[in-house]
């Protein structure tokens, strides 16, 4: 199973850190919203998050580990809140608060990349590393164009959508698609991001373009 890998120690510490981080923010948000069940929901969240990660098969070279970590950190909360009678909008707003610090970190990292003249090349290299490396088991994609002008691709199958759908909440995929906007919409100096459509928003694929901005 998932935790029975050569990286067991690393996995346990990473899962433990993020579980506590997200659980703390979950309880804080619910308390601010006046919920009387905040503590109980937090405890149930931590148990369910751990259960899903314990049951997961991370695949060859643990390629699915990061994806499942991202998925279940949000999906476990969304499921519980739906079961408790929260609306979809309320549940998504709760998760948005839970992951806001992580989104800010991603945005800051990409702002830094965008400062360098070779920011476009570096970003494309990172994207291809995810798509063609160990994480390739998480999706099926096709490259439309990879040139000095643009990097354009389509993701036709995605572990985020498949997992959310398996749990009965395909609509929750949209929050993960929004992660990309937080991370990439800050680009403007040497790279510009455009999303044609996303699976989480009902489009038939995730169609993204990264333009190489060349100063004149």
What ranges do the domains of the chain cover? 8-212
Distance of CA 74 to the CA centre of its chain: 9
One pLDDT digit (tens) per residue for the chain, 216 residues: 334 444 455 788 899 999 999 999 999 999 999 999 999 999 999 999 999 999 999 988 899 999 999 999 999 999 999 999 999 999 999 999 999 999 999 999 999 999 999 999 999 999 999 999 999 999 999 999 999 999 999 999 999 999 999 999 999 999 999 999 999 999 999 999 999 999 999 999 999 999 999 875
Residue 159 near residue 71 (C-beta atoms within 8 A): yes
Strand partners, 206: 155
Residue-level length of the chain: 216
Instruction: Give the pLDDT confidence score for residue 2 in this predicted structure.
Output: 39
Strand partners, 117: none
Instruction: Give the pLDDT confidence score for residue 12 in this predicted structure.
Output: 87
- What separation in angstroms does the CA of 165 have from each of 72, 109, 158? 13, 30, 11
Residue 3 near residue 12 (C-beta atoms within 8 A): yes
Instruction: Give the pLDDT confidence score for residue 6 in this predicted structure.
Output: 46
- How many CB atoms neighbour CB 139 within 10 A? 19
Instruction: Give the pLDDT confidence score for residue 51 in this predicted structure.
Output: 96
Instruction: Give the pLDDT confidence score for residue 215 in this predicted structure.
Output: 73
Within the chain, what is the greatest distance between any pair of CA atoms?
A: 58
Strands 150-158 and 206-212: antiparallel
Phi then psi for residue 207, to 5 deg, are: -115, 105
195 three-state secondary structure: strand
Instruction: Give the pLDDT confidence score for residue 191 in this predicted structure.
Output: 96
CA distance linking residue 135 with residue 120, whole number of Å: 21
pTM for the structure as a whole: 0.91
H runs (alpha helix) in the chain: 8-32, 38-55, 65-83, 88-115, 119-132, 159-166, 173-184
Tell me the DSSP string of 135-179.
GGGGEEEEEEEESSSEEEEEEEEEHHHHHHHHTT-GGGHHHHHHH
Instruction: Give the pLDDT confidence score for residue 8 in this predicted structure.
Output: 52
């Amino acid at each position: 199973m998932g935790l029975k890998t050569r990286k067991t120690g690393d996995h346990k510490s990473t899962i433990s850190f993020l579980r506590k981080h997200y659980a703390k923010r979950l309880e804080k948000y619910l308390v601010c919203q006046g919920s009387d069940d905040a503590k109980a929901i937090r405890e149930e969240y931590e148990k369910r998050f751990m259960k899903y990660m314990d049951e997961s098969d991370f695949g060859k070279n643990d390629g699915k580990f990061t994806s499942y970590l991202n998925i279940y950190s949000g999906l476990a909360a969304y499921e519980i809140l739906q079961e408790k009678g929260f609306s979809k909008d309320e549940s998504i707003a709760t998760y948005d608060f839970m992951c806001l610090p992580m989104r800010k970190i991603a945005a800051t990292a990409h702002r830094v990349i965008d400062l360098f003249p070779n920011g476009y090349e570096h970003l494309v290299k990172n994207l291809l590393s995810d798509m063609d490396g160990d994480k390739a088991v998480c999706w099926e994609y096709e490259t439309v164009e990879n040139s000095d002008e643009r990097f354009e691709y389509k993701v036709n199958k995605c572990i985020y959508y498949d997992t959310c759908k398996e749990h009965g909440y395909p609509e929750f995929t949209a929050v993960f698609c929004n992660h990309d906007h937080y991370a990439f919409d800050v680009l403007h100096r040497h790279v510009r991001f455009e999303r044609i459509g996303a699976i989480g928003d009902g489009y038939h694929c995730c169609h993204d373009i990264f333009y190489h901005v060349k100063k004149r």
